[in-house]
Amino acid sequence: MITETRFPATPTSGDVSATLWRPAGARWLLVYGHGAGAGMNHPFNEGVAAALASRRIATFRYQFPYAEAGRRRPDRTSILTATVRAAVEAGSAAVGDLPLIAGGKSLGGRMTSTAAAEEPLGEVRGIVFFGFPLHRPGEASSDRAAHLDLVPVPMLFLQGTRDRLADIDRMRRVCMGLRERAKLHVVDGADHSFSVPKRSGRTQEEIRQDLADAVSTWVEQIRL
Residue-wise pLDDT for 164-218, tens only, equals 999 999 999 999 999 999 999 999 999 999 999 988 889 999 999 999 999 999 9
Per-residue pLDDT at 223 exceeds 80: no
| pTM of this structure | 0.96
Please give the Cα distance from 10 to 109 (Å, whole number).
19
Q: What is the layout of strands, in order, in the sheet containing 14-21?
A: 2-10, 14-21, 57-62, 28-33, 100-105, 124-130, 155-160, 182-187
